[in-house]
Amino acid sequence: MNERVIYCQRCGAEMKESARYCMKCGALNYNHPDNQNMNKFADAKAKNTYEIGSGKTLMMQQNAVTNFTQEATRIGNRNFFFFFNLLLILGTLLGGAFVIFYLKESQLMTSIILMACAVIYLYVVAMEIIFMKMNRPWWGAIIPIYNCMILAEMTLGKKFLGLLMIVPIVNVVLLLIMFYYLGQKFKKNEKITAFLFLLMIPVIAFGTSTYNGVTYTKLNDKNAVEKDYKRRKFLITLIVLVFLVGIASFLYFNAGNLDSLFVDAKREKLVENGEKIINKTEKAIKDGKFSCDDSATEFAYGSTHYFIYYDVVGDLKMTGFSNELVEASVAVYNNNGTYEYTLTLSDGGQFGFVNVRRGEFGVENIVENVTVTKDENNINCFIS
């Protein structure tokens, strides 16, 4: 007959129930008859808990001493819970990967669906576990309306209140109230649970907190806690894998689209800064904070263009440019007392404007490979 496997309370290594000590780290097996006299020298934590390989401490169910007062009996079939979610997540992962990498169709949409499914599955599995912790059938968490009624029953004591979740606005308030009391039942901060329930649902589900001392693992199964932990860890790993496949395929197959988005954002920033440069130039002229190399103090009437050259990053303190190769020149024309401005702007060589007037800045006026040159036939002015 196969001997039952237990786990070392120190390192989590598997060992036979008859083993006197762990072959990996040497920790004593306090359930062994020859070690009973050593119980008085062991701390309570070592006798009542064990640590699995990840270092996470869990309650030992093979000891008489336990924090659990009762075993949940209305949770449904534990194996069916695991294999149902396993097949659902695994099917989504394989199906999405098949469509993306083999059929090579609808890659953008499939990638987004995979990421969305991963997030949905995380909360579905979490709510199923919370239902089991509350001694309610796990499948109730995925049945609309019924899941709200169960949640209302376990948090507010009134099952019919869950029906109010179909009423707009009222459902939002009711949801916050239910999660407030859910946090209270699981001994979590009520306000944080209510207003950050998207964070707290996985924390409650995958953490060690219990509902009124109930455990949904079997009290008479020595390996129940470890088995449950490994199953939950495996489901979470698959969910994370679904998300990673989704985001990786999204980035891989849509790199060009993403680059286009960055380029569009850069072009829009260029338009915004073009307007700012014109406005700062006008203010500098009005405030007299400029100087010209011909010692002119005013812009004379006529057709002569005065060029003000800027170190856009340094002089004008413009942000949003990728490097310090940005140059700009503003041509100022005095049209019978009314100043007119045109801007030539280079963001470092990729994009820019050439002689664009105020009010005419737009992505349609952006051109590529713009350089700013000084015309020796015109007077050069600089910001002071």
Average pLDDT over residues 271-280: 82
314 pLDDT tier (thresholds 50, 70, 90): low
Query: With bands split at pLDDT 50, 70 and 90, how would you rate the model's confidence at 137?
Result: very high
pLDDT of residue 41: 62
Mean pLDDT value across residues 226-255: 87
Token pair 């954002």 in the structure block, residue? 265
For residue 152, pLDDT beyond 70: yes
- As a whole number of Å, the CA-based R_g of the chain is 34
Residues 6 or more apart in contact with residue 264 via CB below 8 angstroms: 363
- Token representation of residue 233: 């860890």
* Range with lowest mean pLDDT among 10-24, 221-235, 246-260, 291-305: 291-305
| Overall average pLDDT of the 75-83 stretch | 93
Q: How far apart are CA 150 and CA 131, in angstroms?
A: 8
Are 379 and 307 a contacting pair, CB within 8 Å? yes
Query: Helix or strand or coil: residue 243?
Result: helix
* 61 pLDDT above the threshold of 70: no
What CA–CA distance (Å, rounded) separates 367 from 222?
72
Mean pLDDT for 153-177 is 94
Residue type, 17: E
**Integer Cα distance of 12 and 193 in angstroms:** 32
**Model confidence at 62: pLDDT above 50:** no
Model confidence band, residue 13 (pLDDT cutoffs 50, 70, 90)? low
The stretch 106-124 carries a mean pLDDT of: 90
Look at the chain and count its residues: 384
Question: Would you say residue 123 has pLDDT above 80?
Answer: yes
Mean per-residue pLDDT of the chain: 79
Give the percent of the chain with pLDDT over 70. 73
Beta strands (DSSP E) in the chain are: 5-7, 14-16, 49-51, 57-59, 70-71, 214-215, 290-292, 306-311, 327-335, 338-346, 351-357, 367-368, 379-383
Of residues 140, 113, 136, the one with CA closest to residue 124: 140
CA distance 154 to 169: 22
Q: In degrees to the nearest 10, what's the CA dihedral of 115, 117, 122, 128? A: 180
Average pLDDT on 64-84 reads 76
DSSP-derived 3-state class of residue 217:
coil
pLDDT at position 374 is 65
**Of the candidates 225, 228, 249, the residue with the CA atom closest to the CA atom of residue 101:** 249
pLDDT in tens, 15-29: 777 887 777 777 777
Rounded to an integer, what distance in angstroms lies between the CA atom of residue 325 and that of residue 154? Answer: 64
Q: Is the dihedral of CA 109, 111, 117, 122 positive or negative?
A: negative
Is beta strand 70-71 parallel, antiparallel or unpaired with respect to 351-357? unpaired
Q: Within its chain, how far is the Cα of 85 from the centroid? A: 23
Residue 180's pLDDT band, with cuts at 50, 70 and 90, is very high
Q: Are 243 and 120 in contact (CB under 8 A)?
A: no
Whether the pLDDT of residue 267 is over 90: the answer is: no
Compute the distance between CA of residue 294 and CA of residue 181 in angstroms, rounded to an integer: 78
Q: What percent of the chain has pLDDT over 90?
A: 32
| Residue 67 confidence (pLDDT) above 50 | no
pLDDT of residue 24: 73
pLDDT at 338 over 90: no
